[in-house]
C-alpha cells in the first residue's frame, strides 16, 4: 500500500484530506508542524508528502529544503498545498501545487498522477 504523509496545521483540513486519501486506499499519516514533519521523515520515508507551506515552528519551505538535501528523502515527491507559492521555493523541488481552497478532484488528480500504477 502506498504511504502518504500529510503535513498540515489546520486540523480540519488535515482531517478531511487524510480521510479522503484513506477512502481511496492509501495509508496516511498526519502531523501539524515543520519539526514534526522532519522527525517523521527521519523515521520512515513515505511514498509522497502532501505539505502545507505555512507551518508552525518550521515552515514547509524549510522542510522541503532539508528533504532535498537529505539522501533518501531527496527523491520523495512533494505536493505543495497553500494559498500562494512562496517566491523563495524553487519550482523543481516540488511536483504539484494545490492552491487552497482546492476541490476533491484536484487533490485526487494530483495524488493519482504520482501513482500511475495504482495504490498497491
Partner 1 sequence: MSGSDTDDSGQPSREERVESGIPRLDFILKGGFKQGGIYALMGPPGSGKTILANQLCFNHIDKSEGRCVYMTLLIESHAKMLRHLGSLSFFRLEEIPDNLYYISGYKVVRDQGFSGLLELIRGTLRERRATVFVIDGMESAEQFAPTVQAYGEFVHSLQALASLLGCTTFLISNMRERTHTENALVDGVVELSDRLIGPRAVRELTVHKFRGSDYLRGRHEVEISADGISIHPRTEVQFAHPGPSAREQRLRMAFGLPRFDEMLGGGLPSGSTTALVGSPGTGKTLLGLSFLVEGARRGERGTYFGFYEPPPRLIEKAEAVGIPLDRYVKDGSISLVWQPPLEHLMDSLAEQLLEKIRAESARERRRLFVDGAEGFRAAAVYPERVPIFLSALTNQLRSLDITTVITDELELFQSELALPTPELANVAESVVLLRYVELRSQIYRLLSVMKMRESRYDTSLREFHISPGGIDVAESFQSAESILSGHGREVRPAPRRRTAPRTGGGRKGAVKKGAGTPGPKDKGRARPSRRGR
Confirm or reject binding of residue 44 to partner 1 (CB under 8 A).
Answer: no
Is 35 an interacting residue with respect to partner 1 (CB under 8 A)?
Answer: yes
* Contact status: 38 vs partner 1 (CB under 8 A): no
Q: Do residues 115 and 2 touch, judged by C-beta distance below 8 A?
A: yes
> For partner 1, which stretch binds (CB under 8 A), given 19-27, 48-56, 69-77, 104-112?
48-56
Q: Which three cell numbers stand for residue 37?
A: 514533519
Rounded alpha-carbon distances, angstroms, from residue 108 to 2, 55, 68:
14, 22, 24
In whole angstroms, give the CA distance from residue 50 to residue 77: 9
Decide: is 88 part of the binding site for partner 1 (CB under 8 A). Answer: yes
Asked if 57 interacts with partner 1 (CB under 8 A), we say: yes
Edge-to-edge, what's the strand order for the sheet holding 48-52?
A: 27-31, 3-7, 48-52, 78-82, 96-99
Cβ–Cβ < 8 Å for 74, 68: yes
Residue identified by cell 495509508 is 27
Count of residues binding partner 1 (CB under 8 A)? 25
**Closest CB 92 distance from partner 1, rounded Å:** 19
**82 touching partner 1, by CB under 8 A:** yes
Binding range to partner 1, per CB under 8 A, among 41-49, 55-63, 69-77, 111-119: 55-63
List residues binding partner 1 (CB under 8 A): 9-14, 32-33, 35, 53-59, 61, 82-84, 86-88, 100-101
Amino acid at each position: 500500500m502506498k504511504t502518504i504523509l500529510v503535513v498540515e496545521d489546520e486540523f480540519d483540513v488535515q482531517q478531511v484530506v487524510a480521510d479522503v486519501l484513506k477512502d481511496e486506499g492509501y495509508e496516511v499519516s498526519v502531523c501539524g508542524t515543520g519539526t514534526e514533519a522532519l522527525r517523521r521523515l527521519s523515521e520512515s520515508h513515505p511514498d509522497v508528502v502532501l505539505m502545507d507551506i505555512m507551518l508552525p515552528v518550521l515552515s514547509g519551505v524549510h522542510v522541503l529544503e532539508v528533504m532535498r538535501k537529505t539522501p533518501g528523502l531527496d527523491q520523495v515527491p512533494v505536493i505543495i498545498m497553500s494559498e500562494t507559492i512562496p517566491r523563495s521555493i524553487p519550482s523543481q523541488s516540488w511536483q504539484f501545487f494545490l492552491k487552497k481552497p482546492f476541490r476533491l478532484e484536484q487533490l485526487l488528480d494530483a495524488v493519482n498522477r504520482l501513482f500511475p500504477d495504482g495504490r498497491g
